[in-house]
Structure 1
Amino acid sequence: MTTNYEIKVWVGNLGKYNEGELVGEWFTLPHNISDIMKTIGVADGTPYEEWEIFDYVMHPFVEINRHSSLETLNELAELIQELTEEQLEIVTVLIQQNVLGNNKAEDVKRSIEIVQHGEGTDYNIVRGYHSYKELAESIALDSGLISEDNPLYGYIDFELYANKHLFLHTTHYPVKDGVYVEWLHG
């Protein structure tokens, strides 16, 4: 797993902060929440009960703010750790393209669960195309929109078709060079 998908937060003791003292620490999630609270001095037997996420490292697809739930972020971090590199890239595309919603925790969780179900249920991985133009040409031929023996075939600008029609009206999203996600519920 690459580190750019880790969820990192700086959790601080809000009571100490209000008293003028900065007490907290960086944590890479998932992390035991009881241990986090003990580390920052928010635990049973202390006068402090409140904590807050004071800082965080921007995540490719999980929205984090100072009021985010540590339980939810922990759960997402665990789900993220289970994904392969390719699955991580697919989830990132689904979130960035707003296919399933946005980067709110529940939408991210839903995207991860769909990708974990596997290819063929909600999406397919399309490989082997060197460009979006090449993919567009293949889709046009496979769907019967045009055939290679049609006299107009040579006049079709598949680059334009890819950029003006497929990109705006399709369910094919580029993941990386030569790999696309075909969303089956578009």
Structure 2
Amino acid sequence: MQTLPSVSSCLKSTTVGSGMISVFITNLEKYNEGKLIGEWLELPTTPEKVKQFFKQIGIDSVNYKEFFLSGYKSSVYGITNYISENSNLNELNYLACKLDELNHDEMEIYEAAIDIGVNINSITDLINLTDNLDCFQCLYNISNEYDLGFYWIAESGCYSLKELGNLTNYFDYERYGHDVALEQSGTFYSGNYIYYTGEIFSSDYDGKSVPEEYNVLNYRRSLE
């Protein structure tokens, strides 16, 4: 009986590029025939590049049509937790395009929001998150619970230190910051503190129809 090389052994020998998301696409029918044929594809990409890519791995829309994602990596924290071998390539490209539009500060808030986990259960949610970053507040240069407690008590203007008088000398800023972080479900990320404000997310993408400009997997357009 022919032994098929493991997908993992192939992935280890392959270098992933600098795309927002990289997926290892394997020719399913060749795989079932006992041949492991696949390559890394970086996202975002274009229909033209996908057309050429599929030719390289033998997908011609006639004899070989099916593929699966046997590996996936991302330069963005937390993304791969929501990718599977059956993920929609158009949807992943849509997500990669949206991520590519974020600046450095927005990306840090985005990654922190994934860590917080509010309203994040799917690729659809990750796409919609890119348009809802204003639902998160970032307090810069606050990297621990003491800093957070000190900010809210001494710097935010929420409390009058004059009224507290000498009690401020005995205040446990760290414990207060701990309680605030728990209450807000906030997270310390990259030297800052980020929390969800409680605003309702907008859901412009319904998870069903990827906008045409992000579609890369269309056999009629990409392979013929």
Contact kept in structure 1, 2:145 and 2:175, CA below 8 Å: no
Matched, 1:160 2:170: no
RMSD after superposition: 2.4
**Cα distance in 2 between the residues matched to 1:169 and 1:36:** 48
One-letter identity of the residue aligned with 1:49 = K
- Equivalence for 2:90: 71
Write the distance in 2 (CA, Å) between the matches of 1:36 and 1:181: 40
Structure 2 residue corresponding to 1:16, chosen from 21, 26, 30: 30
TM-score norm. by structure 1 comes to 0.80
Q: Which 5+ residue runs of structure 2 have no aligned equivalent?
A: 1-16, 200-224
Task: Tell whether the 8 Å contact from 2:116 to 2:186 is kept in structure 1 after alignment.
Answer: no
Q: Deviations over 1:131-175 (max 9, x none)?
A: 43233222134223x634414222110111112x01211254323
Cα 1:130–1:53, aligned 2, differ >3 Å: closer, same or farther? closer
Match of 1:118 in 2: none
In the other structure, the counterpart of 1:113 is 131
Pick from 160, 173, 178 the counterpart of residue 187 of structure 2.
173
Aligned to 2:130, the other structure's residue is in SS state: helix
Deviation string, structure 1 residues 76-129 (Cα, Å, up to 9, x no partner): 111111111221111111011113324x211211211112xxxxx423332244
Relative contact order, higher structure (CA 8 A, sep 6+)? 2
2:73 is equivalent to residue 60 of structure 1 = no
SS at structure 2 position matched to 1:152: helix
- In structure 1, the partner of 2:110 is 91
Number of residue pairs aligned between Structure 1 and Structure 2? 174
CA distance in 2, matches of 1:36, 1:70: 13
Structure 1 residues 92 and 128: CA distance shift in structure 2, 3 A: closer
Match for 1:140 among 129, 132, 153?
153
For the 8 Å contact 1:5–1:60, the answer to whether it is kept is no
> 1:4: Cα distance to partner?
6.9
What is the aligned partner in structure 1 of residue 40 from structure 2?
26
CA distance in 1, matches of 2:37, 2:186: 47
Structure 1 CA distance for aligned equivalents of residues 27 and 112 of structure 2: 35
TM-score (norm 2): 0.68
Identity %: 25
Gaps of 5+ in 1: 116-120
Separation of aligned partners in 1, 2:19 and 2:115: 14
**2:119 aligned residue:** 100
1:51 pairs, out of 55, 67, 75, with 67
